[in-house]
Structure 1
Amino acid sequence: MANKYNITAKETWPTRYSHINGTPEEILDRFAVSELCRAWPVYRDASEWQNYRDAWADKGSYLWTTWGGGVDIDDFIQISIKGREAGDFIMHRENGTLVELNPKNGRACGKMKATITQRFFFEKEGACDVECDCRFIFFCRKGTSKTGQPEWKLQYVKLFYEKDKVIPLDGKPLPDWDQSVLNKFPEGYRWLGAAQEKLGHNMLYDLPAFDNQGFWDLLKGMNLWLEGKDDEVVKALGVPGA
């Protein structure tokens, strides 16, 4: 009997772009994009806020997380600083990154396999880590720097949430969590969402997970981005003001 929760078996990326091998210029561009993607786990997790901000476009940069939808990058940095000051302990492990590149129009999508890991301390549920396997999707644009050199910048970031789990820190079984709370979230980030909600975050319940509408909308947005159809991209991603 097939698992009820799994990624669709059909092809999810039928359009072919530069993604492996290619010309030296294509390989260099894909490397530059993959370098941008690593700014998230390397710079953000270390509170290197200036370095983190350098990876993003000056204007119109938005990102989506479980607790924030369509947040401007500068607002996101301030929210992250306040969260860290309040004791939020969240880290990211990069598990591998590949890039889809359209060299004709200077567009790329970075696909970074990653694990979100956050530590929680609850009076009832006890101390635990929640880990969530996901794919960060980085929408990147090639432009020109102030010195006249070509440069890549991040415009949008949105995630596919694949599966998560709870790990008790003291070795004891965790008590049952409120199933009605867990059921509000897709299975891809069910435990992470419920735990973050306990901290008081305003959560999103319809982010991309296996085979939900958000999953297909994000795939559509990626293709539209690579085709350079900006007006349609903002609608597919739900960019504020679209």
Structure 2
Amino acid sequence: MVYNVTEKETQPTIWSHINGSTEEILDRYAVTEIVKGWPLYRDASEWNHYRDCFSDEGAYIFTTWSGGMTIDQFIEVSKKGRANGDFIMHREGGTLVDLNPATKRAVGKMKATITQRFVIDGITFDVDCDSRFIFFCQKEKSKKTGQLGWKTKYYKVIYEKDRVIPVDGKTVPTFQESELKKYPPGYRYLGAAQATLGHKVLTDLPTFEGEGMFKMYQAMDTWLEGGDIEQLLGVPNH
């Protein structure tokens, strides 16, 4: 079977996602602001602004190269990686939000391209990975200000497809097939390239292949309904 997005409906439930009351529109806009903090703040090392986009306590995220960890752990790992030469950027391709005003929960869906630069065997190249960043957000009271506001509680990615980009327009390294096969098609080249930097890359993240993407959509609906999604996302019990 050709690797591709399913032809089946992935989210039968329709939440507040366009139009609606002024309050709904403003809430969805506020969530959009929160999720845009990932590419804008993280890529510029604006760590204080970036941290402010996440829940005060219990925020948990997953990436290929860092695994799953709390947001504070991820920031520290990101700082160390950047200091060691990791060069990861992001391009936003559009963002929309599903909202349930009754539970004060929302899901931000951002189309984004992860783009990371590598040097292997003296060859400089990029790997671009088209993805959907999924942000599980809730309205909560800030410990700093005491005011209600939207924050991201959980973050996980659906990896769609990746490719190797020659920086000079013609030269890319050769990846061994045995290395590529360790990772699913959605982030195969990205995973193999990140592994050369010494990262332990997760091999079971959601892609178009398998049940991972459908579990993500199940988690989205469960979250919006007010349910617990830690098991669906794979967040460890603390």
TM-score range, shorter chain: over 0.9
1:87-133 Cα offsets, whole Å, 9 max, x none, are 11110011100000001110000000000000001116x21000000
Identity %: 59
**Is 1:166 aligned to residue 164 of structure 2?**
yes
1:20-43 Cα offsets, whole Å, 9 max, x none, are 000000000000000000010000
After TM superposition, the structure 1 = structure 2 runs for residues 96-111 of structure 1, keeping only pairs within 5 Å, are: 96-111=94-109
Q: Which amino acid aligns with 1:85?
A: A
> What is the CA distance between 1:241 and its match in structure 2?
1.4
**Please, which of 129, 137, 141 is the counterpart of residue 138 of structure 2?**
141
Q: Give the SS at the match of 2:43.
A: helix
> What is the CA distance between 1:5 and its match in structure 2?
1.1
Between the aligned partners of 1:48 and 1:175, the Cα distance in structure 2 is 33
1:125-170 Cα offsets, whole Å, 9 max, x none, are x210000000000000012235443200110000000011001112
After TM superposition, the structure 1 = structure 2 runs for residues 158-237 of structure 1, keeping only pairs within 5 Å, are: 158-230=156-228, 233-237=229-233
> What is the CA distance between 1:218 and its match in structure 2?
1.1
Normalized against structure 2, the TM-score is what? 0.96
Between the aligned partners of 1:25 and 1:84, the Cα distance in structure 2 is 40
Q: Which amino acid aligns with 2:65?
A: W
> What is the CA distance between 1:212 and its match in structure 2?
1.5
> What is the CA distance between 1:187 and its match in structure 2?
0.7
Q: Give the SS at the match of 1:8.
A: coil
Partner of 2:128: 131
User: Bigger CA drift: 65-74 or 140-149?
Assistant: 140-149
Q: Which runs of 5+ in 2 are unaligned?
A: none
Superposition misfits of 4+ residues, deviation over 2 angstroms: 144-150, 170-176
After TM superposition, the structure 1 = structure 2 runs for residues 8-87 of structure 1, keeping only pairs within 5 Å, are: 8-87=6-85
Q: Which runs of 5+ in 1 are unaligned?
A: none
Q: Which amino acid aligns with 1:132?
A: C
Q: Give the SS at the match of 1:206.
A: coil
